[in-house]
Amino acid sequence: MSRRKHNLSKKRPEPHLRVYRDRSVLVFEDGSEIVFEEGRPSQEAQERYNRIVNALRANWLETLYVELPTTIDAVSLDDQATALLDQIVDAVTSEVGRAVVGLTILQLIVKCLEPRQSIRLHKGGTGDFSWREGISMRRLDARFVTPFLRRHGLLRINKDGLFMTRSLAENYPYTQFYKAAVRGAKQAWLDIIDLVEADALNSCDALKYLLAKLRNRADHFREIAEHALRLTQSWLDTQPTPVQIRETILQHINTSGYSARLLEVSMHTFLQTLEDHNALQGRLLPLCQMRTANKKHRNIADVEIVSDQESVIEAWDAKYGKPYLLDELYELAEKLEGKAPEVVGFVVERAPDLRRDILDAKGAIQEATGVEIQILSLEEWLNFYFQRTNLIDQQEAVFRAWAIAYIEILCQKRRNRAPIDEPADQWVEDWIQLLRVKA
């Protein structure tokens, strides 16, 4: 897929991408073009893909990681490439950016192993769409890259792979004209692709730099996590009251980024504590990943307790910043079709809006389904469970255990019960700062 030169007119063409029925044509400022043909992968593309797979099966990536230099300064890159790669990593938050980092790593791996393979073409196979010179990056990611990143704690990506971010899977080559709404350092990512494809950036050096930077972040996270756990125990040694513990957790939820997810985490960890006290009527399901669609996975709500027969007994949705829940009530009615849990409900971080239309809708759904429906503030929800489990006399012990469970989840200590795949660095830093103020 080399550039094809054309006679230049007096006026330089504006760079652009032309999309035809069976091909796309990338036109550069100098008038040269690259043609990306659609269709079943060529024999050469299949051979390139197989060589990449064989190398990854032979632990090429693990060997590269073990042999990384101890500091990123030891990786030789120019200032432009370093700045772009830093932007890609630094753009990662609890909400955005992880898929872009993972895809950049995947593309650099591909280019290291097969320099002739275009990293603009992420689809190749027998599906509905393929490029003749493309390879299936989705399969490479699912089989090798995402498991590697998760295994080493380098990037908390959804276990199903980075292409669960659908904006990265559009049927267009990765160029400056890729129009999908990619969340993260999109421009830096596209600039890296251009540099690699133009042989202006050594892909293996860039890969080493990126992995070393992620390794350093992972090491830093482990350090602050241990500090947060020690600080939490020291705070609990001062004997905070149940109200103080509840308010501290709520303050953390309100002042940290991605508060909606933290409300889910707080609810799930509280029920973990009740489960550890043998106070639940059933089994608490592990917390779903944030981007798991409830309807797709047939979930009723974010947090669920099930019977021995796996039927839902209790289900709760966290609704941060949404005190008015009329639409959510109508959606709940659809989810309850054919199901009969004992209680379902919504939990808001503050007092919910219980105007007449909400109460009418709630009453109608209860009458139609026979299911108890609750709309509660977090404080009311906690009290609801203390009454339901007869643990009112053990509030102090339960709240202390809740505080420990809450920070342990954020520190990645309970992944069997709540696999938090969001980068939790800032959450943990915010918790540390909050407890320092209280010291």
**Predicted local confidence at residue 291, as pLDDT:** 47
Does 227 fall in a domain? no
Does 420 fall in a domain? yes
The CATH number of the domain where 404 resides is what? 3.40.91
The token pair at 138 is: 């989705």
Within this chain, do residues 176 and 282 fall inside the same structural domain, yes or no?
no
d(CA 187, CA 206): 17
Within this chain, do residues 20 and 163 fall inside the same structural domain, yes or no?
no
Give residue-wise pLDDT tens across range 70-98.
878 778 899 999 999 999 998 887 667 88
Q: Percent of the chain, pLDDT > 90?
A: 71
* Model confidence, pTM: 0.77
Within this chain, do residues 298 and 390 fall inside the same structural domain, yes or no?
yes
Give the DSSP per-residue string, 310-360: S-EEEEEEE-TT----HHHHHHHHHHTTT---SEEEEEESS-----HHHHH
d(CA 101, CA 307): 40
d(CA 208, CA 76): 10
**Predicted local confidence at residue 10, as pLDDT:** 54
d(CA 92, CA 184): 7
Within this chain, do residues 317 and 205 fall inside the same structural domain, yes or no?
no
Domain boundaries, position 252: 238-438
Does 226 fall in a domain? no
Mean pLDDT of 273-285: 94
DSSP β-bridge partners for residue 373 = 344
Q: Choose the final residue of a domain: 183, 217, 251.
A: 217
Within this chain, do residues 250 and 397 fall inside the same structural domain, yes or no?
yes
d(CA 433, CA 426): 10
Does 72 fall in a domain? yes
Number of structural domains, the chain?
A: 3
Does 223 fall in a domain? no
User: Per-residue confidence at 292, pLDDT binned at 50, 70, 90?
Assistant: very low
Alpha helices (runs of H) in 350-394, residue ranges in sequence order:
356-369, 378-389
The token pair at 320 is: 């941060």
Does 141 fall in a domain? yes
| Phi and psi angles of residue 166, each rounded to the nearest 5 degrees, phi first | -65, -25
Within this chain, do residues 19 and 71 fall inside the same structural domain, yes or no?
no
Is it the case that residue 161 has pLDDT exceeding 90? no
Within this chain, do residues 204 and 245 fall inside the same structural domain, yes or no?
no
Give the DSSP per-residue string, 82-105: HHHHHHHHHT--SSSSHHHHHHHH
Within this chain, do residues 213 and 307 fall inside the same structural domain, yes or no?
no
CA-nearest of 42, 68, 223 to 134 is: 42
The token pair at 53 is: 């797979």
